[in-house]
Amino acid sequence: MSEIGRPVRVVSISFGVGKTLEEVAVVVDQEGALGVDLIALPETWLGQGEGTEEPIDGPMITTMSELAQKHSAYIVCPIDRIDDGRRLNSAVLLDRNGDVSAIYDKLYPYWGEFGLVPVIDVGQNPVVAETDFGRVGLAICFDVNFPDMWQTMADQGAELVVWPSAYSAGRALQAHAIMHHYFIVTATQSGDCQIFDITGERILDERSEGITVSRAVLDFDRGIYHHNFNLDKRDLLLQEHGYQVAQEEFFHREHWFVLKATAPGASARDLARQYGLEELREYKARSQRQMDVFRSDQVLVTTVTQ
Provide the pLDDT for residue 302: 54
**pLDDT under 70: residue ranges of the chain:** 1, 297-306
What are the DSSP calls for the chain, one per residue? -PPSS-EEEEEEEE--BTB-HHHHHHHHHHHHHT--SEEE--TTTT--STT--B-TTSHHHHHHHHHHHHHT-EEEEEEEEEETTEEEEEEEEE-TTS-EEEEEE-SS--GGGGGSSSPB----S-EEEE-SS-EEEE--GGGGG-HHHHHHHHHTT-SEEEEEESS--THHHHHHHHHH--EEEEEETTSEEEEE-TTS-EEEEEE-SS-EEEEEEEETT-EEEESTTTHHHHHHHHHHHTTTEEEEEEETTTTEEEEEE-STT--HHHHHHHTT--BHHHHHHHHHHHHHHHHHHHHHHHHHH-
Provide the pLDDT for residue 41: 98
Provide the pLDDT for residue 25: 98
Domain ranges of the chain: 7-219, 223-283
CA separation for the pair 169, 14 (Å, rounded): 14
What are the DSSP calls for 25-79, one per residue? HHHHHHHHHT--SEEE--TTTT--STT--B-TTSHHHHHHHHHHHHHT-EEEEEE
Provide the pLDDT for residue 304: 47
pTM of the model: 0.95
Residue 102 sits at φ, ψ, to 5 deg, of -160, 150
Predicted confidence (pLDDT) per residue in 84-119, tens digit: 999 999 999 999 999 999 999 999 999 999 999 999
Predicted confidence (pLDDT) per residue in 143-175, tens digit: 999 999 999 999 999 999 999 999 999 999 999
Strand ordering across the sheet containing 160-165: 127-130, 135-138, 160-165, 183-188, 192-196, 202-207
Please give the CATH topology (third level) of the domain spanning 7-219.
Nitrilase/N-carbamoyl-D-aminoacid amidohydrolase (3.60.110)
